[in-house]
Chain A
Amino acid sequence: MKFGVIVFPGSNCDHDAFYAVGHNLGQPVEYIWHDSATLGNVDAVILPGGFAYGDYLRCGAIAKFSPVMRAVRAFANSGGLVLGICNGFQILVEAGLLPGALIRNRGLKFICRELRLRAATANSPFTRAAQTDRVLRMPIAHGEGCYFADDRTLDELQAEDRIAFRYLDNPNGSLRDIAGVLNRERNVMGMMPHPERAADPLMGSTDGLAVFHSMLMSQAYPSADRTTVRA
């Protein structure tokens, strides 16, 4: 499975995502520059963490206008797998590819911490390899990761089984403990925890590999992912 890692000016987890996918997972991977009009022939695309365009104005607010986002949107619309991690999640939300918003952490401080979460559904190309009853350990590192949406959106996410991950010890005040969400078509996911930082035994946890393994399985057995759940 060929991965593309988008590089915005200010992305700083691009190398980490590249290493996790290329080295820990052993898959082909390439960088895609932010002003590129196409994604090339990748099978999945990762929007990495960092501070795209300095996160000035608002996290992801400038990045959504970069040329590559048009290509990402077209790729997503055609069913391609799009994974946004941390700042990548913020960008996907700003771009309207995922619902809700990510606001300042409850304690108003940046938090870097390993914590526990659980896949809230196995019915997605990003979580099918994760058992929902298993506790996963992954780190977070963000200042604006409090997931926020109105009640109707939250109810809808829940009813459509689109909450991908939930915190067991909510660090930032995210509503309904949401750590990651899916789009309606289930091919776009954003999450604040960093699976690429939990992909190497030396880093203390390999639970993040569940996300990448799920993506590989989805490519090998695509039909299983077409079963979207409608409320």
Chain B
Amino acid sequence: MTITPDLIAQHQLTEGEYRKIVGILGREPTYTELGIFSVMWSEHCSYKSSRVHLKKLPTRGTLVVQGPGENAGIVDIGGGYVIAFKIESHNHPSFIEPFQGAATGVGGILRDIFTMGARPIAVLDSLRFGRLDDTKNGPRNQRILSGVVSGIAHYGNCFGVPTIGGECIFEPCYSANPLVNVFALGVCRKEEVFYAKAAGVGNPVIYVGARTGRDGIHGASMASAEFTEESKQKRPNVQVGDPFMEKLLLEACIEAMRTGAIVGIQDMGAAGLTCSTCEMGSRGEVGIEIELDRVPQRETGMTPYEIMLSESQERMLLVADKGREGEVFQVFKKWNLEAAEIGFVTGDGKLRVRHHGQVVAEIPNRELADEAPLYNRPYTVPIQARQAPGFTIPADVQSALPILLAAPDICSKRGIWEQYDYQVRTNTLTRPEQTDAAIVRIKETGASIAMSLDGNGRYCYLSPREGAQLAVAECCRNLSTVGAEPVAATNCLNFGNPERPEIMAQLVEAIEGMSDACRAFNTPITGGNVSLYNETLGEGIYPTPVIGIVGLMKTAAPVTIPFKNPGRSVILLGGPGGCDETRFGGTQYAKEIVKQLWGLPPALDLDREKRVQSAIREIVVAGLAESAHDLSDGGLAVALAECSFGPAGIGAQVDLSSDLRPEVLAFHEAPSRVLLSTANPNKVAAIAEKYGVEAPVVGITIEREIEIRQRSVTLGTWETKALKAAYDHALEKGVG
């Protein structure tokens, strides 16, 4: 086939990129080679627009065993064990086909974990959809939400990994660009980590798992373009997942790894066979030669182009020690999985692909995998929001609280997480919504791992830099509030079209903000994912960097959110905080009551945040807190209400000494604050003082009611039962 400018454009390659390909090969590429380059050099696989800036992120730390560049990051948790974790997006496929898009998103990240030798033990999801009450798109948004949630449930439940937490946010800008970010974490012995590296000239290259079909061809390229009216025709580009096959693959891979006959292993995810072969070759600085006739195929008459670009799910590629491949085959046979020797490692550094014996592609691995064009795309300043509200903000604390508790971002997501098996593997120490961070114990070491996912598109729209910092701060605060020490992070950067300078500016500032915050909290980024072109018909999403952070703690019954007993002191660690009108514009109050977005996100002082977190960790670990909950969406009033949702419905009476306007005092979202109840206020105060943190006793827990006063003037009184009803039932109609 002749390579025409049209064909090059169809492959989303620029003229310059094509010239680079010709330069690398010293000749015109074949059609198969053009396809191979187009997926490896797609934004999704090559990070060509973001890589220059990703280098700014901190990636090293004393506990980091493996940073970015592998299938997942690896962190030492002591006792001879490590955890492997990463977050990945599956945004584009989930819009086109919500159920399978989300399901294969889970499947993909699980393979990333177990390809490193780690058994997955936890999944969290960060989800964003259009509003369900949208008059025009509401029904479609509901369908996407239900499809995504069932897809995640279907895959995770069957595979046998607990889905234990996450977040779910609704904004009009996600209506045609839903975000599905899936985080997975696994555990293994430190000396049993496997890497995706080929080695040993002559060693066999083995293909395992599902057969290759025509599904998902060009999925990676699809994820690297904006949506248009024609995008719905891309449905065949979305793969179909089989969690049962993946479960077999997990068990077989772990068993095969134990034989000691495996040299390197990588899953086939985006860009399928292409990506796994050239990346393993490149990392090991070797060549790989494969014969496509030997690749197990689901359909007849597949072309080399189709076989190389297929994104059929549940497939792995591995390199075994020559002479010991029999041991590997035996394990896969036991698990009834197809395994085929499709090639071997060579010394020439090239990916050589044969079909019926003829060479159809021959490309140097390093240039293909690691030397995609890098773009330092022009950027200006992020989109600016109106700085001052320019209208009066209504002030009715009494009626606002139930409305906020029923708001889509704040209300209970029980209808979602009850569809997930959050307990399988019997390590989940609390159910979702009981603690600020999800916690699993590690049976092997007696330690526990806390984890949280956070992002706030509204904050980041107002200031990508501060918004990204706030996400990191909140994520760490969630961990600290359960008594865990944050140790390492993974990120998923969801943005619009980077070719627009104001969008590129959002990306650059968010990365820089995230960098600063991760340095401050000593939580290096060990891997992650960038999802760009989240735009439909020219309308982009809010810049939405999502951060996932893991923390270490001792295994014990965790401190949960609800108040346990009446008559306890209620302490607002960090104090009532301050907030002016400008910093109030990104709050849930602004969103749901004022129905506007303006100004800047809440102000963050990283040093103060760290001191507050050190204090709450020490308080929790010392067993002084009966309950603890950090302040975030909806501020103090919402946090107080959430603390009252325990089985006994214990509320509190608080009286705040502050000059803020009542609605600002009750609902502003300044960070660095934690609400706790204690029988030992003096001991709590002593710890707070040590860290120079305010810790006013703002009130006392009482039966059945919440009352908020400001200098003895009552701002609102509510029955906890009524608030809980508003919180519990709001989402019900949406999760159909």
Contacts and interface: CB of A to CB of B under 8 A. Distances in A.
Interface string B230-250: 000000000000111101100
* Interface size band for A: 20 to 34
Contacts of B245: 54
Interface stretch (A12-20, A146-154, A177-185): A12-20
B335 interface: yes
A12 B160 contact: yes
A145 B408 CA distance: 30
B244 A10 contact: yes
A114 interface: yes
Contacts of A56: 244
A68 B337 CA distance: 20
B421 interface: yes
Interface string A13-32: 10110011001000000000
Interface of A: 9-10, 12-13, 15-16, 19-20, 23, 49-51, 53-56, 109-114, 139, 141, 143, 194, 196-197, 199-204
A23 B427 CA distance: 13
Given A111-B418, A112-B420, 17 more contacts: A9-B244, A9-B247, A9-B335, A10-B247, A10-B248, A12-B247, A19-B443, A50-B160, A51-B243, A54-B242, A54-B244, A141-B421, A141-B423, A141-B424, A202-B441, A202-B557, A204-B430
Contacts of A16: 424-426
A83 B77 CA distance: 37
B159 interface: yes
A15 B140 CA distance: 40
Nearest to B336: A9
A118 B245 CA distance: 37
A203 B158 contact: no
Chain B interface size, as a band, is: 20 to 34
B426 A203 contact: yes
Contact of A203 (B150, B159, B429): B429
B555 interface: yes
A64 B420 CA distance: 26
B557 A12 contact: no
Interface string B419-442: 111111110111100000000010
B421 A110 contact: yes
Nearest to B159: A12
B307 interface: no
Nearest to B441: A202
B30 interface: no
B153 interface: yes
Contacts of B12: none
A109 B152 CA distance: 13
25 contacts: A9-B335, A10-B248, A12-B158, A13-B160, A23-B443, A51-B158, A53-B244, A54-B242, A54-B245, A55-B158, A55-B244, A109-B150, A110-B420, A111-B418, A111-B419, A112-B421, A112-B422, A113-B418, A141-B423, A196-B426, A197-B423, A199-B426, A202-B441, A203-B423, A204-B430
B662 to A, nearest CB: 39
A139 B150 CA distance: 20
Closest 6 CB pairs of A and B: A12-B160, A54-B244, A141-B421, A51-B158, A16-B426, A110-B419
A202 B153 CA distance: 25
A197 B426 contact: yes
* Residue with the highest number of chain B CB atoms closer than 10 Å, among A20, A110, A114, A196: A110
Given A110-B157, A110-B419, A202-B557, A12 B244 contact: no
Given A20-B426, A202-B555, A203-B429, A112 B244 contact: no
